[in-house]
Structure 1
């Protein structure tokens, strides 16, 4: 059978008009009905594009020249935006970013969950969508005998050298990375070399409390010992009083994973503290704590509103992490049960409950799909179940356990609209009705969208 030809070939240069955006933020245009996906293209623009890849049903292009820029196109404030890839949509106005994220949630609810009429509200954005991230992990390299730090270039392990700031990082994180690099360079701590698997300092991680401005520095090394550590500690702590904790993490493996298993406190506390609303959290080097507390507060307020709980209600928080949502729920509920597979997270959750004087919350280590049926056997009947799963969505066993427990309401917090839609379909078929969905922009300038959906028992 003859191979079907496409209207364009690799390396062709074509003029195209962008009609739409993909969920990754690429412009979509068609040549004789054949779609081309082009990074940085915006709807309404006509552009010259080089075809870089051709598949049977669609191709990919590289933007060469925009002939009539969209009014929604803006100049990215980051000097390395087109190299870095950490943010994907700084070239879009913030209004377009928000409406695209709302549209993304609408599309998957329609196509995957077949929920045509569920209201998807306009995305809750930030007043100032910059400098919001409270945590950075940055690789360390060497050039001309000096330490350099910077994110990796897109699809590579090559450090972007001319990167002295990141416009979505907290200012303090930026300054602390620079300070650590400078001190380590001066006292002679060498960088890790991936190719030879030699050297010492692999990554610098900085965590900052948004409310408290307390800072934790984590040095990730290949070696068990950190050379010149006393000198390093003295210089850093004398110059920067906001540093409350210096941690050493050892990762001797040849791997892309940043943190190793062994973590020790070199100086100061094991935790720094931060608040979301009036709830305080202790954050360790390995804690999962939301990177954008401003929007986390808005997301949790919406989850709390959907949960509609009072002092008579029992709530289960599946995938409870360090107890962030659980403690918000515990302020209103009679009792909250949290479950999480990571033992360290449960330790943190118990610590955070104690920190806030909350006694009506219980945490258990395990998978939600195993622990919840056990709770059901023990006679636990939740009024509301809240889930906040990882990107892969809820385990099928957990969805079945939820359906069998028959809570009045399910509040689903999601960081991936596709798996949200898939799971909503299963819950709908199990006797629940999706009432509404609220996207929240937790990661401005990037393609990610967080969403919270409300389901009620039919």
Structure 2
């Protein structure tokens, strides 16, 4: 470990050396970070708020060891791979062949930190040549690692082709011996010479294809290309808050648009409620259905819960008036809802909308288009310590 927490800030050797500036707020005391994010969130939704808006205190995070996913660029050589980020050449013991080694990044969960040296050794053992941007030679571009709340791991090797597939398979047993918590291993093919984290083709190399993410009473099944929040503890708090607000509202019908692997929908499910989760990714929907079926088998009262693989905006706009629910949950990507869906919600007559956002700019823009709604409740969730970003949950009601 190259970092320590003192006087409210996280001291990181890589930041001090100027090798990594990803944590833009690293020198800001954590309490000040949290207060600033909460102020920014309240400001972003101020035009849709009034004196009756109930704003809860922000949900903090551990300042380090919280990130459940590592996205490591692989540089260096087969004999001496570097797992981290691209950086300047030379000048530091941790810089090699254009990369900065961040295997000891203090943001990652302890399980990921412990796994990365074994994965670096695997690069050498399986002869996975790191991709060199300047010469456009080599195969291995990234290694992506996710840790579940139970300490299980999913590892994805992002390569230009399937050339190394046989070698990866050959050495998998040895990797399992080094990392007993390893559950899912895949090869992702990304052939383009472009700043893309991953490609469309995913080859699962293990018997298990999903990583179970246990959150309270529900276990979500995370596929290799499925989205999940990077901060497990804060994500659990976000879902729990949404569950409580939905329970208070008691809608008989609810849509969860952009439902992903089903986090909000599963927490919203109740015996007397019809819940429909809509997600464009078929793999994510399959994971959500598996979670639903397992919960039902354990005797959980889920009511009428279904998931559909469809575009969220098209599904909403294409629905008939008689199908419109009493509540809509939206958790869009950073780009926000977009004008079409925001305008549909504005004119839909849906009484309540629960909006989870990771981008205050697009949240504010969407609320401006949805003037028929006011913020009834709100809370900031610090999903991303050491940066200016946060997740915000707002409950909207018709004015």
- Please state which band the TM-score falls in when normalised by the shorter chain: 0.7 to 0.9
- 1: CA distance between counterparts of 2:82 and 2:60? 34
Match of 2:398 in 1: 457
Q: Does 1:293 align with 2:227?
A: no
Post-superposition shift, 1:312? Answer: 6.2
Match of 2:59 in 1: 124
Q: Of residues 62, 71, 79 in structure 2, which corresponds to 1:137?
A: 71
Post-superposition shift, 1:302? Answer: 1.9
- 1: CA distance between counterparts of 2:284 and 2:77? 38
Classify 1:189/1:216 alpha carbon distance in 2 versus 1 (closer, same or farther; 3 Å): same
Considering only CA atoms, is the larger Rg found in Structure 1 or Structure 2? 1
Q: Of residues 72, 91, 106 in structure 1, which corresponds to 2:27?
A: 91
Classify 1:180/1:138 alpha carbon distance in 2 versus 1 (closer, same or farther; 3 Å): same
Matches within 5 A, 1:264-283: 264-283=203-222
CA shift digits 1:24-48 (9 cap, x unpaired): xxxxxxxxxxxxxxxxxxxxxxxxx
Match of 1:214 in 2: 152
Classify 1:386/1:238 alpha carbon distance in 2 versus 1 (closer, same or farther; 3 Å): same
Matches within 5 A, 1:19-418: 76-81=10-15, 82-110=18-46, 113=47, 115=49, 117=51, 118=53, 120-126=55-61, 128-142=62-76, 146-153=80-87, 158-161=98-101, 163-210=102-149, 212-226=150-164, 228-308=167-247, 313-331=252-270, 334-357=273-296, 358=302, 360-377=304-321, 379-418=322-361
Post-superposition shift, 1:394? Answer: 1.0
Which fold has the larger relative contact order, with Cα–Cα distance below 8 Å and residues 6 or more apart in sequence?
2
**Contact kept in structure 1, 2:152 and 2:211, CA below 8 Å:** yes
**Contact kept in structure 2, 1:340 and 1:346, CA below 8 Å:** yes
- 1: CA distance between counterparts of 2:324 and 2:159? 48
Post-superposition shift, 1:191? Answer: 1.2
- 2: CA distance between counterparts of 1:347 and 1:144? 37
SS at 2:323's partner residue?
A: coil
SS at 2:19's partner residue?
A: helix
SS at 2:316's partner residue?
A: helix
**Contact kept in structure 2, 1:311 and 1:333, CA below 8 Å:** no
**Contact kept in structure 2, 1:192 and 1:202, CA below 8 Å:** yes
More helix by share: 2
Tell me, which stretches of 5 or more residues in structure 1 are unaligned?
1-71
Post-superposition shift, 1:291? Answer: 1.4
- 2: CA distance between counterparts of 1:333 and 1:318? 20
CA shift digits 1:2-27 (9 cap, x unpaired): xxxxxxxxxxxxxxxxxxxxxxxxxx
TM-score, normalised relative to structure 1:
0.76
The RMSD of aligned alpha carbons is 2.4
SS at 2:350's partner residue?
A: coil
Pick which of 264-273 and 368-377 moved more.
368-377
Tell me, which stretches of 5 or more residues in structure 2 are unaligned?
1-5, 89-96, 297-301
SS at 1:425's partner residue?
A: helix
Classify 1:144/1:192 alpha carbon distance in 2 versus 1 (closer, same or farther; 3 Å): closer
| Length, aligned pairs only | 377
